[in-house]
Amino acid sequence: MGMKTQTDCQCVSETAVSKATGCKNIAELTALKATVEQLKSELEALKLQSRKDGLTGLYNHQYFREALHREIERTERAGQDTCLIMLDLDHFKQVNDTYGHEGGNHALQHTTQVLTSQIRPIDIACRYGGEEFAILLPATPINVGKQVAERVRKALSSTPLHYQEQTITLTASFGVSVYHKRGFNSIEHTEAMADNTDIETSLIEEADQQLYRAKAAGRNTVCTSTPIDTPSHHVTSDEKDLFSTLFQSSET
Ligand SMILES: Nc1nc2c(ncn2[C@@H]2O[C@H](COP(=O)(O)OP(=O)(O)OP(=O)(O)O)[C@@H](O)[C@H]2O)c(=O)[nH]1
């Protein structure tokens, strides 16, 4: 038996492919390939759509939880803090009551535009639910997270929405929390990262608590937490209160 030529090999592989796919010739095979590519890109589009909120185009709550899980893992791996900003529009019910549900929806879209104009491409902005938004800031210490929240707060309050010949001024209250590398040993790390739901929940709860403090302090305000306790430094509740007061920024 002589050596196989390139044409021989092509024929063999074409035969094998046609057996596997049922295609009779190259043209059919090419058409099948195009269909597969089309289906693949439709699947990708559907996947993306399933992660997005229909009204604002931001990532949805489900994607937010996935991203939070990933960013906590990244902090444990790379050692850089992850900040979480939660923000909630102030007196949004009044916006709906005054301008109708449609007006309220425009306000949510307007907030999205302002918010996304103030953050980096690597930051992850999500609609957490209703009129509450969450922004994940990878590789960001708490002081920078606070600055970003302040920037968004100022931009929102100084960029009114023009809707049906009316001018609507929107404000929001902000809570910021931070995840700091805890430095688990390898067994703890495997266990904690396999299911870090408790860590995620405490980070969200902390940002939410700060958000409620901001509401209680008069709204249109940013409140930040101190870094969540690390094994090397346990922050007492008195220290926490003191820091929280210092970090609280009021309306300017
Ligand atoms: N238009 C519109 N309204 C929504 C949507 N989701 C939630 N809401 C409304 O958001 C309003 C939230 O009202 P509340 O929870 O009382 O809060 P608030 O009026 O913003 O008051 P504070 O948060 O205390 O400042 C409710 O009237 C909801 O119906 C939405 O997708 N579109």
3-state secondary structure of 169: coil
Within-domain flag for 5: no
In this prediction, residues 62-82 reach a mean pLDDT of 94
3-state secondary structure of 248: coil
Helix (H) or strand (E) holding 223: strand 222-224
Give me the interface pTM, i.e. the ipTM. 0.96
23 and 99 assigned to the same domain: no
Residue 5 confidence (pLDDT)? 63
Within-domain flag for 107: yes
DSSP 85-130: EEEEETTHHHHHHHHHHHHHHHHHHHHHHHHHHTS-TTSEEEEEET
Asked whether 149 and 85 are in contact (CB, 8 A), the reply is yes
Poorest-pLDDT segment among 1-5, 62-66, 149-153: 1-5
191 and 214 assigned to the same domain: yes
Nearest-atom number in ligand 1 for the CA of 129 is 6
- Cβ–ligand 1 distance for 86 under 6 Å, the answer no
For 183-212, how does the pLDDT look when each residue is reduced to its tens digit (9 = 90+)?
A: 776 666 666 666 677 889 999 999 999 999
Q: Which residue among 131, 132, 173, 220 has the greatest number of ligand 1 atoms within 8 angstroms of its CB, and so is best to mutate?
A: 131
- How far does residue 130's CA lie from ligand 1's centre (Å)? 6
Supply the DSSP symbol for 230.
Answer: B
- How far does residue 50's CA lie from ligand 1's centre (Å)? 23
Residue 232 has pLDDT above 50, yes or no: no
87 and 186 assigned to the same domain: yes
Kindly report the average pLDDT of the chain as a whole number: 85
213 and 131 assigned to the same domain: yes
96 and 165 assigned to the same domain: yes
Q: Is 23 exposed, middle or buried (0-12, 13-18, 19+ CB in 10 A)?
A: middle
Residue 19 has pLDDT above 70, yes or no: yes
Residue 246 has pLDDT above 80, yes or no: no
28 and 79 assigned to the same domain: no
- How far does residue 8's CA lie from ligand 1's centre (Å)? 69
Nearest-atom number in ligand 1 for the CA of 173 is 25
Within-domain flag for 9: no
Poorest-pLDDT segment among 97-101, 224-228, 234-238: 234-238
- Cβ–ligand 1 distance for 156 under 6 Å, the answer no
The Cα–Cα gap between 38 and 44 comes to: 10
10 against 24, higher pLDDT: 24
Looking at the chain, the whole-number percentage of residues with pLDDT higher than 90 is 64
Contacts of 209 (CB under 8 A, 6+ apart): 175, 225
In this prediction, residues 129-144 reach a mean pLDDT of 97
Residue 9 has pLDDT above 60, yes or no: no
Residue 128 has pLDDT above 60, yes or no: yes
Amino acid at 101: H
Nearest-atom number in ligand 1 for the CA of 103 is 1
Within-domain flag for 60: yes
63 and 155 assigned to the same domain: yes
Within-domain flag for 7: no
Please say if 251 is a catalytic residue: no
201 against 10, higher pLDDT: 201
Print the domain residue range for 204: 51-247
135 and 98 assigned to the same domain: yes
Helix axes 197-216, 61-78, angle to 10 degrees: 110
Structural domains counted in the chain: 2
Residue 237 has pLDDT above 50, yes or no: no
In this prediction, residues 218-244 reach a mean pLDDT of 59
Within-domain flag for 98: yes
- How far does residue 129's CA lie from ligand 1's centre (Å)? 10
Residue 26 confidence (pLDDT)? 80
CA nearest ligand 1 atom 11, residue: 93
The Cα–Cα gap between 5 and 7 comes to: 5
Q: What is the CATH number of the domain that holds 72?
A: 3.30.70.270
31 and 89 assigned to the same domain: no
Residue 32 has pLDDT above 70, yes or no: yes
204 and 157 assigned to the same domain: yes
44 and 73 assigned to the same domain: no
- How far does residue 92's CA lie from ligand 1's centre (Å)? 5
138 and 175 assigned to the same domain: yes
pLDDT-derived band at 236, boundaries 50, 70, 90: very low
Q: Which of 42, 66, 102, 131 is catalytic?
A: 131
Within-domain flag for 3: no
Q: Which residue among 60, 93, 111 has the greatest number of ligand 1 atoms within 8 angstroms of its CB, and so is best to mutate?
A: 93
Residue 27 confidence (pLDDT)? 83
Within-domain flag for 2: no
Residue 159 has pLDDT above 50, yes or no: yes
Poorest-pLDDT segment among 28-32, 74-78, 130-134: 28-32
